């Protein structure tokens, strides 16, 4: 078994101590001066890889800091942890599970058994089901109970069962099927599903219930409402067993007990974390929207990024570099958040997708061994597309008192846009990065109009927003989060922090011992139940 050293404490390393010393002198660093004094900096601090170009030369680091960061990665268990993940070891230790979402885009590489089942065979079976179902829906062969073709698909899920496919469908909308619309319902707020159902024809609607466990409260409540609607509109006594319902889950038995027919269940392994599941049957809506062939292109982009991460030296490894920059800002320069700004409106769901990926994965305060951590982990991810953000929160980025690194994401070419629109869009992206770095503090400038500058950013430029490049982009961030977690010594693949609120919500629903609630909660519960 690979030694991933769960006792690793980054703060005890010489590299961590050196980074602290370097951070104490970071006030003397000027990004603009570093670029001006070193003609090779821009090229040296850039990585060109297939359809992506990553420029991190506007980072608040010099070559000495960068070298120490790479050294920290080298002494950490990152290399051995990558090998452990690929070999199927249970690196999700709190749940005793392997982490094999990479198998979903390259099953041949993971041809071994886990929990008595062959990983590659399960992935191949799931992909065959995705192809079959999406092809039948797109071609009009999947019929509702009255014999009519499906025109609308409702993806009912939450968290990873919603954010990933919703983000991808939105990003790839230029490829969307003209005859089938995909809708996404996640929030338990009934106004959302009730409003949507009023706009749809039950005869031509397919409800896809997506839940890893098939026990998720919000998902099953929304599904209950959708099934009641199918019953009312179509007179189906058991709509869950009709051709209007599909189940996607890692718990086939629960879906069967719910009433979904076995041949209408798409299964994936429990070694796939929810926020990493869009590559599995959870991504059915993507295949329905853009077609199975383009869904495979999405997988291929992620697969290519996997190989880049697994096999590239840390000094040229995009996920590792992004992770190290975040560690530098978070742990040594006291930055508590990062803004992700895609200069592409179709990527408007990318920031919330990355919020879950980063904050649910690395929002941890204990090590792999359960020891309290004395240094920061995780970080707040937020943002929205430019240029909208320029007229909202960029004021804080430019003139506020907090250090907030910015990650710009754009596409060099956009066939959906016009030449003028796209040129101006990208000019704004480049201008913001330059302005954050350069600032403006001339002597005759009034204080309120001064920009301190020296604010760091990175820019990731895609050739074009294609399924392949989107897959690579998503996988890049997946591996970035994993690399951070390994270096911090935490488990990035569980999410116990979401469980307590769920438990208390169930108790409140039952009004279980409401007299024992704290005075504030009891007071609010009384008003809620009385309304």
3-state secondary structure 223-285: HHHHHHHHHHHHCCCCHHHCCCEEEEECCHHHHHHHCCCHHHEEECCCCCCHHHCCCCHHHHH
- The angle at the Cα of 444, spanning 443 to 449, to the nearest 5 degrees, equals 95
Residues constituting the chain: 531
Catalytic entry in 17, 413, 440, 502: 502
In the annotation, is 502 catalytic?
A: yes
CA 80/CA 94 separation, integer angstroms: 19
CA angle 120, 124, 130 (to 5 degrees): 145
| Candidates 203, 240, 360, 478; catalytic one | 360
DSSP 470: H
Let me know: does 35 contact 42? Beta carbons within 8 Å: yes
At which residue do the structure tokens 């292109």 appear?
297
Residue 391 annotated to the active site: yes
Contact 331, 65 (CB under 8 A): no
Residue 118 φ/ψ, nearest 5 degrees: -80, 125
Nearest to 331 by CA among 401, 290, 380, 378: 378
Is 360 designated active site? yes
State the sign of the Cα–Cα–Cα–Cα dihedral 130, 136, 138, 144.
negative
Catalytic annotation, pick one of 391, 442, 448, 503: 391
Q: Which residues contact 84 (CB under 8 A, 6 or more apart)?
A: 1, 2, 4, 91
Quote the DSSP letter at residue 212: S
The residues carrying an active-site annotation are 360, 391, 502
């Amino acid at each position: 078994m690979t030694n991933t050293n769960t006792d690793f404490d980054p703060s005890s390393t010489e590299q961590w101590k050196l980074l602290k010393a370097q951070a104490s002198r970071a006030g003397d660093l000027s990004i603009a001066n570093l670029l001006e004094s070193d003609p090779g900096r821009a090229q040296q601090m850039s990585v060109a890889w297939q359809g992506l170009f990553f420029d991190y030369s506007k980072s608040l680091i010099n070559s000495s800091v960068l070298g120490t960061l790479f050294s920290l990665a080298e002494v950490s268990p990152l290399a051995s942890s990558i090998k452990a993940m690929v070999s199927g070891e249970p690196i999700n230790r709190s749940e005793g599970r392997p982490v094999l979402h990479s198998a979903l885009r390259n099953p041949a590489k993971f041809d071994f058994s886990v929990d008595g089942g062959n990983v590659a065979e399960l992935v191949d079976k799931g992909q065959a089901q995705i192809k079959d179902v999406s092809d039948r829906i797109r071609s009009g062969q999947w019929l509702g109970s009255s014999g009519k073709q499906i025109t609308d698909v409702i993806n009912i899920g939450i968290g990873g069962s919603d954010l990933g496919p919703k983000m991808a469908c939105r990003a790839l909308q230029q490829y969307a099927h003209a005859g089938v619309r995909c809708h996404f319902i996640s929030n338990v707020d009934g106004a959302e599903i009730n409003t949507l159902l009023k706009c749809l024809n039950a005869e031509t609607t397919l409800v896809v219930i997506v839940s890893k466990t098939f026990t998720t409260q919000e998902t099953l409540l929304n599904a209950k409402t959708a099934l009641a609607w199918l019953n009312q509109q179509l007179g189906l006594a058991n709509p869950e067993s009709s051709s209007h319902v599909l189940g996607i889950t890692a718990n086939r038995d629960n879906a069967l007990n719910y009433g979904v027919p076995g041949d209408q269940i798409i299964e994936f392994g429990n070694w796939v974390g929810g926020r990493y599941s869009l590559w599995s049957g959870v991504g059915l809506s993507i295949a329905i929207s853009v077609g199975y062939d383009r869904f495979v292109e999405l997988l291929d982009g992620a697969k290519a990024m996997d190989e880049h991460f697994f096999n590239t030296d840390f000094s040229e490894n995009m996920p590792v570099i992004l992770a190290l920059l975040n560690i530098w800002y978070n742990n040594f320069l006291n930055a508590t958040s990062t803004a992700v700004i895609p200069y592409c409106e179709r990527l408007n769901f990318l920031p919330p997708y990355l919020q879950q990926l980063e904050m649910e994965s690395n929002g941890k305060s204990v090590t792999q061994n359960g020891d309290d951590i004395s240094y920061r982990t995780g970080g707040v991810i937020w943002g929205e597309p430019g240029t909208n953000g320029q007229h909202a929160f960029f004021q804080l980025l430019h003139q506020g008192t907090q250090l907030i690194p910015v990650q710009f994401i754009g596409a060099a070419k956009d066939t959906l846009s016009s030449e003028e629109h796209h040129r101006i869009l990208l000019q704004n992206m480049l201008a913001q990065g330059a302005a954050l770095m350069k600032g403006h503090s001339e002597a005759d400038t009034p204080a309120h109009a001064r920009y301190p500058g020296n604010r760091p950013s990175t820019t990731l430029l895609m050739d074009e927003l294609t399924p392949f490049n989107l897959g690579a982009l998503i996988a890049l961030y997946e591996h970035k989060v994993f690399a951070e977690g390994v270096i911090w010594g935490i488990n990035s693949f569980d999410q116990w922090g979401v469980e307590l609120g769920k438990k208390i919500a169930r108790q409140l629903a039952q009004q279980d011992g409401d007299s024992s609630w704290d005075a504030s909660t009891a007071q609010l519960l009384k008003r809620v139940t009385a309304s």
